[in-house]
Structure 1
């Protein structure tokens, strides 16, 4: 009889669980559970309104995934739960929450329920840009050696900027938080009862380099109480796919899985997807295309890449240097356009044709010649992660005329995200990190026009992973290693990773045309993002003046 592992992926809007065969990674069953509260951006449930740039989550929504999606996936697989030998999970990052020493989230305590800073801050909580700028300025002035490992700029999405924001805006929450923990690590603790920290998040999001966090003296220069953060983020540090503990009786009751099975260390969603995509070998870049995009790579050596999100030893797999870069908005931009800017007539036309609005827009835009719409967009609707690390930037669209059609704007937005990805790939190669192969995974790989555009813009073949839930599969691969079925992630990935669904090759004529359009994108990118004008920052400041403070 076969052995199975469960992988659980906690995304931005929902969680999904898969049951896969340890021998070959074949998916036997899956289930998806949407978060009841989704992303909390307007106001707390039953509480106060939130300022611009806020994005919170409810920790109870994550636990409900374990209660609902995991048993449903096991039922769908039709297997005997006794044959499951391990469970692994991943989450978005940096999605971080303050808790008591026993792991109780402050957001679940009555006295903090109405305090926004007591709630988990989602990865796309971008209101700590002011704190990030101070961190960057001070680190550069002091010559902090870790700064170059983050491309010279720390993101407002990362752990330290968010913690400093809490300390400055609601110090009581900061002082009562005995732990400041990534969601993935908090969930692992719920599964096995043991407090651990995953090395990937500690390095990429917590600024831990060469075995050390930023020094107390550096933290004190930002705020006298900030050194108190260090014991809040401390804990047993585990490498990727290590065994964190055994499934406890409470979690066994939630999931229907046997108590005592292996629980893998927590992980970052994009990082485990590299294992699912068989992209853990140096030179293979993975683009995880979803609400945002993460670009992940392994290398044998450390290079400092300007604008990269981070380079961490053992950050993706043990024994190699892991690199992460990304774009803060991709699928979110497409969803914004469809939900808030598309004329109702297009929704009605799609319904009459029996297709989704996205499919309609793709069909109308697919045959446009490159540059034929006369438009150019900057994909900064959620700020810019790589290579500018500035979340007070905003989206830009130029070239509009009275003749511009909605499908032309749609295509310009698709192209903008491809141009953004190209800036990242070029940054890697300019820093001496070769990108020999590019693979795509994630929900947006269902969009064939998008894949064609990416191949043309990037001027390279784009391999597409054949997996419905690649991050959950990656978490399951980590579970197999934690359970002892494989000695390391590399061997587990080779055996259990997904095959390629297809490969998109660039069209030389379209690629040449995109080179010309990309040059204009870079000019616009540098004008708005590198000092040509500060108008986007000024507009952001005006917007914040008219909205509430927490």
Structure 2
């Protein structure tokens, strides 16, 4: 007997994940493919988009082999973003995709567009200031530095929209992703802003705008032959992974704050009306009528992975146990988590990581603890900035692989003083993508799909201690900013081969 199922696939920074769920949201199967990114130069972070398709194909095939009785009735996709994937008229990429805010190559283009269009005007029309997160300056970078490549470009994709295109042939982009394509999108009109498109992205034919849960087409015969999906199955547009994660844990109501624990830490606060501040990103939400104030750190889980590699690939369970034993404050260590620059709220791609207070007595457990605490301080800095800008935080929901093991989430609650709801399913964006497909093809309720499983409460004594240490954290960046910028410049000269 066949069973109606939904497929969700998400393309992340370090892996792609897929889920097969039934109509009630029960997780039947999961599949993962790990991958890396390319860093051809300091500040440049890219990825070959063919990997996205190849991994979707492999994941879907694995899911369907494991559940031969599955009757797939809908497909959802999501992915990291905002990314810039330029393609020709046939949808064939003309260069690797430039990734989201971890790629900081377009500083000169940001400065020039601010001067040409007006920084205040950009903030008013689009909701967000131009930063390394914005897609527009990266398009301008390609036009300036790779004119031959840009001359062949006609279409703009992001991971979710390119997968939807490969599955259905539809050239679309969801409104949320478009709202992170500053300065190309008018956040009040909910449309591309033609005068600035002509300045930033001349000769590109921008995609039709839809909402993430909109059905944009059905699986073509060619896509069916490659993936094993039935031809004719509806496919939804999907959106950027963090917003799909928020969907997956029912964090789309006014006052909700989603914390995504992953390679990078992401925060999304749903607000009653549009709120703008240069320090954060003001975006359209995943559903019509919703608005968000969002932030993202350039590194979080990436630092713990870096540390693990430095100590010979020790098991994460051992490192977490040693970090737990280290205790509050990591025996006097303080880390700034700016190992790839920083996005919100300091918006400084020239920032660099810092480990202060080191002595010969410190252990790898202390370093691991300091890394977890550094990301928690970054969360608190972002939350305080959201509140100062006019956001409201009434409910915090945690999601992502970093919620496993409990230590990281507990440190974040202790540092911020906020309770966190941990839902039953924390697999994240792939599950949210499947849910979007479910809503588009029938009735579905995320509250029933993914109810709360546990609550992380802050400890008052630890919170008091962390508040004192947070003051030191806030002092550390301005005290070392000029030094970090000089070192960033030195790193570029080394890369160019200059003594």
Query: TM-score band (shorter)?
Result: over 0.9
Quickly say closer, same or farther: Cα 1:508–1:137, change in 2 above 3 A: farther
1:287–1:293 CA contact under 8 A, matched in 2: yes
TM-score, length-normalised on structure 1? 0.85
Aligned pairs for 1:101-250 (under 5 A) are 101-106=89-94, 118-123=95-100, 124-140=102-118, 143-146=121-124, 149-150=127-128, 153-207=129-183, 208=185, 209-211=187-189, 212-213=191-192, 216=195, 227=199, 229=201, 231-232=203-204, 234-250=206-222
Q: Distance in 1 between matches of 2:447 and 2:452?
A: 13
Q: Which moved more, 1:197-206 or 1:88-97?
A: 197-206
Q: Could you say which residue in structure 1 is the equivalent of 2:447?
A: 494
> What's the CA shift for 1:462?
1.5
2:10–2:16 CA contact under 8 A, matched in 1: yes
Are 1:465 and 2:423 an aligned pair?
Answer: yes
Q: Could you say which residue in structure 1 is the equivalent of 2:30?
A: 30
Aligned pairs for 1:442-461 (under 5 A) are 442-461=400-419
Residue 10 of structure 2 aligns to a residue whose secondary structure is strand
> What's the CA shift for 1:95?
2.2
Q: Could you say which residue in structure 2 is the equivalent of 1:113?
A: none
Q: How many residues align structurally?
A: 492
2:125–2:188 CA contact under 8 A, matched in 1: no
Q: Distance in 1 between matches of 2:246 and 2:435?
A: 10
Quickly say closer, same or farther: Cα 1:519–1:503, change in 2 above 3 A: same
Q: Distance in 2 between matches of 1:282 and 1:141?
A: 28
> What's the CA shift for 1:141?
5.4
1:5–1:84 CA contact under 8 A, matched in 2: yes
Quickly say closer, same or farther: Cα 1:534–1:272, change in 2 above 3 A: same
Q: Could you say which residue in structure 2 is the equivalent of 1:58?
A: 48
Aligned pairs for 1:352-367 (under 5 A) are 356=315, 358-367=316-325
Q: Distance in 1 between matches of 2:478 and 2:124?
A: 26
- Which whole-Å deviations, capped at 9, do the CAs of 1:138-167 have from their partners, x for residues lacking one? 5545644536721xx322132112112112
> What's the CA shift for 1:103?
0.4
Residue 439 of structure 1 aligns to a residue whose secondary structure is strand
Q: Distance in 2 between matches of 1:469 and 1:144?
A: 35
Q: Which moved more, 1:134-143 or 1:183-192?
A: 134-143
Q: Distance in 2 between matches of 1:137 and 1:369?
A: 48
Aligned pairs for 1:370-519 (under 5 A) are 370-371=328-329, 373-467=331-425, 469-483=427-441, 485-486=442-443, 492-496=445-449, 498-519=450-471
> What's the CA shift for 1:466?
2.6
Quickly say closer, same or farther: Cα 1:266–1:231, change in 2 above 3 A: farther
> What's the CA shift for 1:527?
3.4
Q: Could you say which residue in structure 2 is the equivalent of 1:300?
A: 272
Match of 1:527 among 468, 471, 479: 479
Residue 534 of structure 1 aligns to a residue whose secondary structure is helix
- Which whole-Å deviations, capped at 9, do the CAs of 1:382-410 have from their partners, x for residues lacking one? 11111022212111111112322222122
Q: Could you say which residue in structure 1 is the equivalent of 2:5?
A: 4
Residue 173 of structure 1 aligns to a residue whose secondary structure is helix
Q: Which moved more, 1:252-261 or 1:302-311?
A: 302-311
Q: Distance in 1 between matches of 2:353 and 2:125?
A: 27
TM-score, length-normalised on structure 2? 0.93
Residue 378 of structure 2 aligns to a residue whose secondary structure is helix
> What's the CA shift for 1:469?
2.5
Q: Could you say which residue in structure 1 is the equivalent of 2:260?
A: 288
Are 1:85 and 2:85 an aligned pair?
Answer: no
Q: Could you say which residue in structure 1 is the equivalent of 2:59?
A: 69
> What's the CA shift for 1:228?
6.4
2:276–2:293 CA contact under 8 A, matched in 1: no
Are 1:334 and 2:304 an aligned pair?
Answer: yes
1:280–1:298 CA contact under 8 A, matched in 2: yes
- Which whole-Å deviations, capped at 9, do the CAs of 1:441-495 have from their partners, x for residues lacking one? 1111113221110110010111223325221110001111222x13xxxx64234
Q: Could you say which residue in structure 2 is the equivalent of 1:264?
A: 236
Match of 1:538 among 474, 486, 490: 486
Q: CA RMSD in A?
A: 2.2
Q: Distance in 2 between matches of 1:192 and 1:372?
A: 51
- Which whole-Å deviations, capped at 9, do the CAs of 1:472-530 have from their partners, x for residues lacking one? 110001111222x13xxxx642343x2333211111110110010011111123434xx
Residue 546 of structure 1 aligns to a residue whose secondary structure is helix
Q: Distance in 1 between matches of 2:130 and 2:62?
A: 40
Quickly say closer, same or farther: Cα 1:184–1:10, change in 2 above 3 A: same
Q: Distance in 2 between matches of 1:410 and 1:283?
A: 32
Residue 98 of structure 2 aligns to a residue whose secondary structure is coil
Residue 63 of structure 2 aligns to a residue whose secondary structure is helix
Residue 232 of structure 1 aligns to a residue whose secondary structure is coil
